[in-house]
Amino acid sequence: MPTGTPDVLLRTEGRAGFITLNRPRAINALTHAMVLAVDGALTDWEHDPAVTTVVVEGAGERGLCAGGDIRAIHDDARARGTASAAFWRDEYRLNARIARYPKPYVALMDGIVMGGGVGVSAHGSVRVVTERSRVAMPETGIGFVPDVGGTHLLGRAPGELGTHMALTGAVVGAVDALLTGLADAFVPSVELPFLARDLTDLAPEEALARHAASPPAGVLAEQRAWIDACYTAPTVEEIVERLFGSGVPAAKETAETLLGRSPAALKATLATLRRSRVLGSLEAVLDLEYRVSCAALTTPDLVEGIRAQVVDKDRDPHWTPATLAEVTEADVARYFAVPDGGDLGLAAGTPAPTTPSAPAGHGARGGA
């Protein structure tokens, strides 16, 4: 039977295997060791006929998972280390595995679900949100680019809603997570314990039928017209120009938000998202995102963005380059170069061998 770790609790009840991410003080931010523990549980339960459904949930009241442990990534980037690349290799493989898992994989996306938290939930076969759900890929705010298959998910959202979420890092609630394809069903948070109980002896669709409800109103459907009109522009500069010129107050506020994000990360994100749309498979997109993530690790903006948002918390990042106009095509092209340690190789079906490394250490709240 899977044994878990202090940060990943594993148990079986009836026909269900439960994975509880257990770092509540850090909103269950993922470490390398946690990724390996989740993957190990999936291996064991895949071949256990007594387990017919896997359920992932978060400990505490704040959320399922706030993302990767970005303090550890910050420290690794400053030291020019290799721990983050090793973490991403295993994390992205886990994301792909979740999407192809042969048994129902039910993610209870209550509370904060961001960055890596999306990776361990939104690729599942049954994604459940509540009125407390706050779902986002907020990477551009820390000088990073949406990863964990995020550009694959957002690239498939209706119209340009995914582009809007990827560039701005917008946080959405239940109905907008459903609209953009990041979730499948809404269940009131008070019903989650009862849903979990029913999942121990019922198929997920039967359990959901007992507890699913209509979600509260969202905002993206009403904003769809100006989002689609503005984000079809070919460049980030033109997107910002259209947002300012739309005459819609919410669009103008969005333009101002974009101007506060890392210019290099914005351009790399738009390029990654548009490449992801034509790649097709999640595995191919994860291969692409791995290149982009490794490149971001070497940029000054990732360290500066995490410093400003998480370490010093002054919310005053100084980006390099400082403006969109200063980010060249060559700057963007560097994000797509083969990393020094080689490609991920998921799409080829033969992941490159890796040298075992110590998991990234624990830190504070995640988001990447």
Catalogue the active-site residues.
68, 116, 139, 147
Q: Residue 12 gets which letter from DSSP?
A: E
Q: What is d(CA 52, CA 15) in angstroms, rounded to the nearest whole number? A: 5
CA distances from 83 to 7, 109, 134, 304, 318 (A): 19, 28, 29, 19, 25
CA atoms within 13 A on the CB side of 184: 16
Q: How far apart are CA 160 and CA 214, in angstroms?
A: 25
- What separation in angstroms does the CA of 70 have from each of 26, 118, 175, 227? 11, 15, 28, 30
Query: Helix crossing, 220-231 with 161-168: angle to 10°?
Result: 90
CA distance 123 to 151: 12
Q: Is the peptide bond before 317 cis (omega within 30 degrees of 0)?
A: no
* Cα–Cα dist 300/281, whole Å: 31
Residue 244's CB: how many other CB atoms inside 10 A? 16
Instruction: Compute the distance between CA of residue 118 and CA of residue 7 in angstroms, rounded to an integer.
Output: 18
CA distance 267 to 197: 45
Token reading at 254: 């969005």
DSSP assigned state of 362: P
- With vertex at residue 235, the alpha carbon angle to CA 302 and CA 95, rounded to the nearest 5 degrees, is 50
